[in-house]
Amino acid sequence: MMNWAANISLKKYNTFGIDAIARYFAVFATQDELAALLDGVPGQMVGSPFILGGGSNILFTKNIDGPVMRNEIKGIELVDEDEHYVYVTVGAGESWHGFVQYCLGRNWAGVENLSLIPGSVGAAPMQNIGAYGVEIKDVFHELKAWDLVEGKVYTFTLNDCQFGYRDSIFKGKSKGRFIILSVTFRLNKIPVFHTAYGAIREELERMGIQELSIQAISQAVVNIRTSKLPDPAQIGNAGSFFKNPTIPSIHFEYLQKQFPGIVGYPEASPGGTGTGPASAGMTKLAAGWLIEQCGWKGYRHGDAGVHTRQALVLVNYGHATGQELYDLSEEILHSVHEKFGVTLEREVNIV
C-alpha cells in the first residue's frame, strides 16, 4: 500500500515558495497508486484530497488540514495519427514546457506559443492555459480523469471540459471532484503559425528569422517571457496573478477619453461576431497596464511585492506569507476598481 506522510512542508511544491504545512501528504505516479492511496486514507483525514501538480498557479494562505496528493504520472505516447494530425497522450505529471520541447523536437505544431509556461500537463486544461493567441482548447482532444465521488475513470471531450478564458469545468461546478490522469492533444503535422501579437513579430525580427518555424516562434516566446517574467527558482512567483478583464466597448470608449494610453483589444460579445459597432462588443484590457497606472509596479512591503518589470506578477522576496500576498492582491483590486471602475479577477488559485 502507498504511504501517507504527516506534517509535510509544501514550500518546495509551490513556485511562490510559501511554507504551508500539509497535515497529510502523498505522491502517486500511476492510476493504481492513486487508487491504493485513496483506499488507505487515514480515518482522521477530512475532505477530498487536494491535488498538486507543478504548484505554479497556487497561493497557499494557510496550512492544509485535509490530504494533499502530488500527481507525478509521467509518459508521452503517440496514440494515433492521420494525414493532418498526430494524437499524443501525456501523463498529467509531465512538465508542460518539457512536453512543448518534446513536440518541437518532432515538428509537431500547435503548442509552440505556449512555451515556458510553468506547471504540469494535468493543470493545463484545468486553467485552459493560453498565451500569444493560443489556448489549450485549440489543441485539446480529450482527457481521462478519476472521479473521486464514483471511484472510476471518465473521459472528457472538448465540449465536456467547458473551456473559457483561463477557465474550465474543473475550476467550476466540478472543482475538486476529478483528478486528471492524462491529456490527449491533437497537434498539426503542417504548422499554422500564430504571430499576430506584435511582441512576437518584433522578437522574430530582432532574432533575424528569415524562415518561420515552430522552433523560431517558441524561442521568440521564451525570449519574451524571460525578459518580462521572473524565474520562480530565483524569486517566488506564480506568473500572471490576474486575468486580463473584458468590459463592454462603450465602457472602454469612456475610459479612453480619460486615459488615452489605455491598452485594449476588441473581442466579440457573447453570440456576436465582433464585427459590428464597437459599442455592441466587448474589449479586453491589459490588466498589467491598469495595475501599473495605479502605481503598483515595483511596490514592496516586507517580502511581498509587485515585480519591477511586470505589474501582473506578484512576488515573494523570501519570507512573505500567502496571506500577505493575498492582502496585497486585495489592495491592488480595490485601487484598480476605484480608478477605472474595472473589477480584476485573480488567475491564481487561492487555497
Amino acid identity, position 286 = A
112, 203, 324, 347: the catalytic one is 347
- Catalytic option among 23, 135, 142, 166: 166
6 strand-pairing partners: 24
Q: Please confirm, yes or no, whether 83 is among the known catalytic residues.
A: no
Backbone angles phi, psi at 7, to 5 degrees: 50, 65
Q: Find, among 137, 136, 165, 160, the residue nearest to 147 by Cα.
A: 160
Q: What region, left, alpha or beta, does residue 24 occupy, with left being phi > 0 and alpha being psi -120 to 50 degrees?
A: beta
Catalytic residue among 115, 168, 240, 329: 240
How far is 153 from 142, CA to CA, in rounded Å? 13
Q: Residue 49 contacts by C-beta under 8 Å, 6 or more apart in sequence? A: 38, 41, 66, 67, 68, 69, 148, 179
Quick check: is 240 catalytic? Answer: yes
Pick from 19, 103, 15: nearest CA to 55: 15
Active site residue 166: yes
Check: CB of residue 84 under 8 Å from CB of residue 191. Answer: no
Which amino acids are annotated catalytic?
Answer: 166, 240, 347
